[in-house]
Amino acid sequence: MYSDHARPVFPHGFRWSTATSAFQIEGSRDADGRGRSIWDDFIDVPGAVKDGSTADPSCDSYRRPEADVALAAGLGVDHYRFSIQWARVQPDGSGPANMAGLDHYSRFVDALLEAGVAPFPTLYHWEMPSAVEADGGWLNRDTAERFADYTALVAERLGDRVPQWYTLNEPAMTTLQGYATGALAPGKQLLFGALPTVHHQLLAHARAAEVLKANGARRVGLVNNHTWVLPLHDTDEDRMVAAVYDTIHNRIFSEPLLEGAYPDLEALGLPPMPVQPGDLDLIRWSIDFYGINFYNPTTVTAAHGESPIPFEIVPTPGVPVTGFGPEWPIMPEALRDLLVDLHARHPHLPPVIIGENGASFPEPESATRVEDTDRIGYLSGHIAAVAEAIDAGVPVEEYTVWSLLDNWEWADGYTQRFGLVHVDFATGERTPKASYDWYRSFIADARAEASAHAEVAR
């Protein structure tokens, strides 16, 4: 069964993946010399995490890596996207490597390879050492060089077995929620004063890409969170603020990578980026693929009164929602429209990877078999949207479900569940959901059908 959608046909060689991030699943925050990160600091702020939880033990994956490898292999995915904690490898964000941390990730890479799953690591999934943030974090240009130094430690150890890498995860969310509104770590509330973090993250990515390539990497990219922006009303005012929001959420990150220039920020009344000579050339030629995380569209309307922000994010009318409520509307065609529009803006778009796509829905806490038909419908609709974008000429080559496991969902703690696998956080027991079985069958069928079409084409 493929929900309400006919099974789309994908090209031969299309890849299927699933993903997690280290801080959300590993637990063991004090183990083996791990340093303190900005998320440890955020957790300690009263009221910062919705349910007061601490990300420990979460899925206990630091001590149970073999369970996660088996689940990834059982899906039949091509890649498993996981992340490496900077604070495990370099506890203070400078100096030599913590070998216990590197050993852990080296063993994990070996286990994946032995199970027939290609490792696809992310070097930075929001987990900055506290010492780096104390020196300015992403507001400080020097952080790009510190990130390159950390990358070198990882690449020198894993580069002989890992040919493809993500550098940064969702720099937009780090800027917008980490530094502008304070909803995520490091909890700054700088509004438009957060914008220099955009450039410093992109520069860090580009420097890391250089280091990775020098250590044998074949393919390097980053993964941006993108959203399809809709004006609430068909008015000039709402269309204008939709364009502003599109710029600061999407285009300010995509255009330096894809065109080597920032949008005209000064035309929007925003300060220019802190660009130095050579920066944009380095950024422009730093990606072999373009990663996109997509969850939902964003509807905006013009803000009124004395707000320093010209737009207001509002519920998207007429569509269902996930467990987050109106904050996360479900609109699969928005992913298709986003991809088609990106390709129209950038005709020489490199290969695209959907680095995350998934949804949270209310589910039981204790270990159980979950019949998560809502999640199957969400995934089915978005996979069909990817197929439609490919049919329209967008060079998408991989799709990744977020997430393999229920996990600790950042500032929402354990109140949201995204996993294909249910995790009982009291016991660590993992129970595949109906969506796990559905995705496994979908992958097998999609591969068989693609092979059959390729054979006919010969």
pLDDT tens string 440-456? 999 999 999 988 877 67
For residue 345, pLDDT over 50 is answered with yes
pLDDT score of 325: 96
CB neighbours (10 Å) of residue 371? 12
pLDDT score of 2: 37
CB neighbours (10 Å) of residue 436? 24
For residue 3, pLDDT over 70 is answered with no
What pLDDT digit, counting tens, does each position of 183-210 carry? 999 999 999 999 999 999 999 999 999 9
pLDDT score of 452: 83
For residue 4, pLDDT over 60 is answered with no
Which band of pLDDT confidence, cut at 50, 70 and 90, is reported for residue 355?
Answer: very high
pLDDT score of 19: 98
Classified as helix, coil or strand, 70 is: helix
* Residue percentage of the chain with pLDDT more than 70: 98
What would the mean pLDDT of 142-166 be, rounded to a whole number?
A: 98
The label of the residue with tokens 């059959």 reads: 452
**Residues 6+ positions from 369 with CB-CB distance below 8 Å:** 422, 431, 433, 434
What pLDDT digit, counting tens, does each position of 210-219 carry? 999 999 999 9
What would the mean pLDDT of 396-407 be, rounded to a whole number?
A: 98
Catalytic amino acids?
170, 356
For residue 382, pLDDT over 50 is answered with yes
- Using an 8 Å Cβ cutoff, are 146 and 94 in contact? yes
Which band of pLDDT confidence, cut at 50, 70 and 90, is reported for residue 6?
Answer: low
Give residue 198's Cα distance to chain centre: 16
**Residues 6+ positions from 62 with CB-CB distance below 8 Å:** 26, 27, 28, 31, 104
Query: Mean pLDDT across the chain, nearest whole number?
Result: 96
- Using an 8 Å Cβ cutoff, are 427 and 368 in contact? no
- Using an 8 Å Cβ cutoff, are 367 and 422 in contact? yes
What pLDDT digit, counting tens, does each position of 321-335 carry? 999 999 999 999 999
For residue 388, pLDDT over 70 is answered with yes
What would the mean pLDDT of 363-391 be, rounded to a whole number?
A: 95
What pLDDT digit, counting tens, does each position of 241-251 carry? 999 999 999 99
Query: What DSSP state is assigned to residue 262?
Result: -
pLDDT score of 458: 66
What would the mean pLDDT of 173-180 be, rounded to a whole number?
A: 98
What pLDDT digit, counting tens, does each position of 37-64 carry? 999 999 999 999 999 999 999 999 999 9
pLDDT score of 451: 85
Calculate Rg over the CA atoms of the chain. Answer: 21
**Residues 6+ positions from 154 with CB-CB distance below 8 Å:** 84, 89, 102, 105, 121, 123
The label of the residue with tokens 């109906």 reads: 434
What would the mean pLDDT of 20-38 be, rounded to a whole number?
A: 98
Which band of pLDDT confidence, cut at 50, 70 and 90, is reported for residue 306?
Answer: confident
Report residue 396: phi and psi, to 5°: -80, 130
pLDDT score of 454: 73
Domains within the chain, CATH numbers bracketed: 15-225+248-296+320-457 (3.20.20.80)
